[in-house]
């Protein structure tokens, strides 16, 4: 079989035919260069069953969102439902008003909360809302150490994790106030840290839920769960 280079050398080719073949040869060469060159940013993703730290987590570039629980990667849902986002927007707006004039920041996710950055750095969450009074904890894509308050809005795929694994991790890390918002049932389970344990209360749409980190200033839950017009 004749190669492209051998065909080009043939004496019976017209100038136009020779130009076409030379162009094809150029394309072949470029395609071969691409095949022989490694991507400058090869895809990195976690391997099931392997444990990782934040340093590993930060390099993953497969387009998916993860959290780390004691080093184990947990895949997050790609995007929550619009109802989830609507509740999140209303609540963070209210918390931002309560935070006016105070140090620190109210942050919406995605926001990397590195709960044990000084001891293993293998537990990283992305809460829906994080509140911090200590601005020095802010770093890069999130914060180092426990926020003062965390809010998680339940989704079908995250409900168990939010109520169990995250509940325990936030408690151990010293998150002072943890709200679990159930937008489907229109309730808020609010937990306040007392002597290392969470003391919880549940509020419904007709209630006003006190925010203890803001000295008990209340959030009217009808404003959080109101229906879209």
pLDDT in tens, 45-68: 887 788 988 888 878 877 788 888
As assigned by CATH, the class of the 54-225 domain is alpha beta
Nearest to 186 by CA among 78, 79, 86: 86
Q: What is the pLDDT of residue 53?
A: 87
Q: Output the pTM of the full model.
A: 0.77
Measured on CA atoms in the order 103, 106, 111, 117, is the torsion positive or negative? Answer: positive
- Between CA 158 and CA 169, with CA 163 as vertex, the angle to 5 degrees is 100
Which pair of tokens denotes residue 28?
Answer: 């072949």
| Token pair listed for 137 | 């904890």
Q: Does the structure show a pLDDT above 50 at 163?
A: yes
pLDDT for 17 beyond 70: no
pLDDT tens string 205-218: 999 999 999 998 99
Domain ranges of the chain: 4-36, 54-225
Least confident of 59-63, 89-93, 168-172, 221-225: 59-63
């Amino acid at each position: 079989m004749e190669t492209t280079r051998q065909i080009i050398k043939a004496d019976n080719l017209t100038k136009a035919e020779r130009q076409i073949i030379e162009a094809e040869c150029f394309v072949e060469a470029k395609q071969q260069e691409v095949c022989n060159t490694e991507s400058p940013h090869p895809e990195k993703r976690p391997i099931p069953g392997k444990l990782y730290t934040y340093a590993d987590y930060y390099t993953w570039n497969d387009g998916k969102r993860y959290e780390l629980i004691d080093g184990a990667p947990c895949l997050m849902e790609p995007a929550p439902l619009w109802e989830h986002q609507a509740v999140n927007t209303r609540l963070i707006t209210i918390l931002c008003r309560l935070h006016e004039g105070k140090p620190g920041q109210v942050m919406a996710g995605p926001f990397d909360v590195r709960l044990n950055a000084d001891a293993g750095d293998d537990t990283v969450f992305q809460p829906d809302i994080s509140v911090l009074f200590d601005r020095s904890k802010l770093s890069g894509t999130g914060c180092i150490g426990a926020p003062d308050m965390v809010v998680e809005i339940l989704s079908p795929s995250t409900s168990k994790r939010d109520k169990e694994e995250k509940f325990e991790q936030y408690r151990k890390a010293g998150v002072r106030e943890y709200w679990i918002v159930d937008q489907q049932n229109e309730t808020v389970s609010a937990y306040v840290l007392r002597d290392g344990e969470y003391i919880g209360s549940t509020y419904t749409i007709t209630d006003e839920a006190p925010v203890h980190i803001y000295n008990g200033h209340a959030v009217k839950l009808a404003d959080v769960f109101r229906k879209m017009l």
